[in-house]
């Protein structure tokens, strides 16, 4: 089996596979990079996970995820920030254990509006405050915090950061090595400003991760599971991929899909179909498509 | 029964009521204004609908809806533009029949990406082209075309116009009397640029309609039916209402709710609960809250 050298399989695409299986399947499918999640890492423990990642000889392209820091000051907020500090350490450890070219990138999902509140602006301010608290830790650990703007349909319950412009505005006070952004096609494809903001992100060196998956309607009953393989929906992957390339991003490209049918399919088939979808929809638009 | 003098009941909130019933229930509920839909008007015929509206002594605050002009050039596009011209005439007729203070405002929903296409940018260009074709008709009929940005979760299948900024950019080439925008809290509440764009819309005299309803999660299985009474969700109606007031909008304010449970409730109860929700969530933030 082979796969494009810049394809990274985000572990969430085969969500129910334990870490060992995910590493083995990713390699067996010809991928050379994986995007890890904290929960399956925690199941075996960080040190053991790092050893297994090293044994796999895969690169790690990101760790998902921390964030969720929209709580007002108090015990919940302190617990969330402590958890983010732990996630920074985990990211550094895993990136150190991954093959050369691994990225010490921690994906941040901001969190929603606290229950019972209508203060979206306040929740957004607390994201900025949390970044200010965490950025020095990230910098000293050599980790990039990657703010992921999520589709506005998640703004109330999952992420009050809804656009690339907003994510870049939040990142601006910090060194790009410490705070960048995720460009995930599923979340930003609809945005009339998306291409201008991708260019802006490139100019400031802030694209920490590029994730690809597709949008289709009708949406499923659980809108969290609305993602599809690149090419199966309405997103123009040629335009996005060229824009991200032109912005100077040269790292691994993750396919991250939350989809009940894909989660229920046999894992090797999912890895193979992900590699095929990437080859068809994304790879032709990469400058180095023919290498490796 | 009484209701705030600026409350307009959008007919979709009691979707299954025929026109006669909708007019009667709106008046009986103490409302002095109604937002009409073309389908129930068509059931009785335009001229008869205009007579009944005149008899009701209600104002009309808008007509929903035209638009859906993202088809490439061809028969479908021509049919859509013809339909928009008819809708402009209908709007003028109904506004002429409504009580003084009626608004000749036609709500435009842009339409989605044509089936099988990934050309979002092209679909958006065709919206601009359609406006250029329709604006002179609107101007000569004394009708304002009101571009409604829809929530980005509808961008693929319903409206490629997703933000107020985009709607205002589309409106900019035209006289504000001919082309304006709708500010619907449900669609724009999440947008970090919303308040800046409301101010911009006010400065250019382009707020043609202000519609209020609330956002709640989890979303229902059919995301078209995700709307709630003002105050039942996460939207800050104080902030939005003050912003729209400060932008100079002094017209009727529609409550437009698509919600299966509300559609199934007895119509008089829905009208009464709409008036109460408006009084609690919106009216206190209107400068003229105490009048009438």
Distance CA A99, CA B261 (A): 55
Contact B162 A191 (CB under 8 A): yes
Chain B residues whose beta carbon lies within 8 Å of the beta carbon of residue A236: 118-121
Distance CA A202, CA A180 (A): 10
Chain B residues whose beta carbon lies within 8 Å of the beta carbon of residue A185: none
pLDDT digits (tens, 9 = 90+) for A107-140: 999 999 999 999 999 999 999 999 999 999 999 9
Q: Enter the DSSP assignment of B174.
A: S
Distance CA A38, CA A40 (A): 6
Residue A3: its pLDDT value, please? Answer: 97
Does the pLDDT of residue B17 top 60, yes or no? yes
Confidence class for position A287, pLDDT limits 50, 70, 90: confident
Residue A1: its pLDDT value, please? Answer: 80
Domain coordinates in residue numbering, chain B: 7-285
Contact B234 A121 (CB under 8 A): no
Does the pLDDT of residue A292 top 80, yes or no? no
Chain A residues whose beta carbon lies within 8 Å of the beta carbon of residue B193: 165
Does the pLDDT of residue B290 top 50, yes or no? no
Q: Enter the DSSP assignment of A137.
A: H
Assign A270 to helix, strand or coil: helix
* CA distance, residue B73 to nearest chain A CA (Å): 20
Q: Distance of CA B161 to CAs A62, B90, B93, B181, B225, Å?
A: 33, 24, 27, 11, 19
Chain B residues whose beta carbon lies within 8 Å of the beta carbon of residue A235: 118
pLDDT digits (tens, 9 = 90+) for B124-157: 999 999 999 999 999 999 999 999 999 999 999 9
CATH topology of domain B7-285: TIM Barrel (3.20.20)
Does the pLDDT of residue B292 top 70, yes or no? no
pLDDT digits (tens, 9 = 90+) for B150-183: 999 999 999 999 999 999 999 999 999 999 999 9
* CA distance, residue B21 to nearest chain A CA (Å): 33
Interval A183-205 mean pLDDT: 98
Distance CA B215, CA B243 (A): 18
Cβ proximity of A197 and B163 under 8 Å: no
Of A216, A219, A235, the CB nearest to B223: A219
> A99: which residues sit within 8 A by CB, 6+ positions away?
A32, A57, A58, A59
Which of B70, B234, B239 to probe the A interface (max A CBs under 10 A)?
B234
Residue B25: its pLDDT value, please? Answer: 98
pLDDT digits (tens, 9 = 90+) for B68-80: 999 999 999 999 9
pLDDT digits (tens, 9 = 90+) for A18-63: 999 999 999 999 999 999 999 999 999 999 999 999 999 999 999 9
Contact A223 B153 (CB under 8 A): yes
Q: What percent of chain A has pLDDT over 90?
A: 97
The number of angstroms, rounded, from the C-alpha of B253 to the middle of its chain's C-alpha atoms is 9
**Nearest C-alpha in A relative to B226:** A153
Does the pLDDT of residue B215 top 70, yes or no? yes
Q: What percent of chain B has pLDDT over 70?
A: 98
Residue B288: its pLDDT value, please? Answer: 63
Does the pLDDT of residue B193 top 90, yes or no? yes
Chain A residues whose beta carbon lies within 8 Å of the beta carbon of residue B156: 190, 215-217, 233-234
pLDDT digits (tens, 9 = 90+) for B106-126: 999 999 999 999 999 999 999
Does the pLDDT of residue B289 top 90, yes or no? no
Confidence class for position A288, pLDDT limits 50, 70, 90: low
């Amino acid at each position: 089996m082979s796969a494009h050298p810049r394809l990274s399989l985000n572990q969430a695409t085969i969500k129910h596979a334990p870490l060992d299986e995910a590493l083995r399947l990713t390699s067996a499918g010809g991928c050379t990079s994986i995007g890890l999640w904290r929960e399956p890492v925690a199941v075996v423990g960080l040190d053991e996970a790092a050893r297994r990642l090293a044994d796999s000889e895969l690169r790690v392209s990101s760790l998902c995820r921390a964030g969720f820091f929209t709580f007002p000051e108090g015990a919940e907020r302190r617990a969330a920030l402590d958890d983010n500090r732990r996630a920074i350490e985990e990211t550094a450890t895993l990136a150190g254990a991954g093959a050369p070219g691994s990225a010490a990138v921690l994906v941040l999902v901001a969190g929603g509006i606290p229950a019972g509140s209508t203060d979206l602006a306040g929740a957004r301010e607390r994201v900025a405050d949390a970044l200010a608290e965490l950025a020095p830790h990230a910098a000293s650990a050599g980790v990039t915090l990657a703010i992921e703007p999520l589709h506005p349909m998640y703004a109330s319950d999952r992420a009050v950061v809804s656009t690339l412009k907003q994510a870049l505005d939040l990142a601006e006070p910090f060194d790009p090595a410490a705070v960048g952004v995720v460009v995930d096609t599923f979340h930003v494809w609809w945005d009339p400003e998306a291409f201008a903001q991708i260019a802006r992100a490139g100019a400031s060196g802030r694209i920490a991760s590029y994730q690809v998956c597709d949008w289709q309607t009708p949406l499923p009953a659980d809108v969290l599971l609305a993602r599809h393989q690149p090419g199966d929906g309405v997103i123009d992957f040629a335009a996005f991929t060229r824009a991200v390339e032109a912005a100077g991003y040269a790292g691994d490209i993750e396919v991250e899909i939350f989809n009940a049918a894909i989660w229920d399919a046999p894992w090797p088939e999912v890895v193979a179909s992900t590699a095929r979808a990437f080859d068809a929809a994304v790879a032709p638009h990469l400058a180095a498509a023919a290498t490796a």
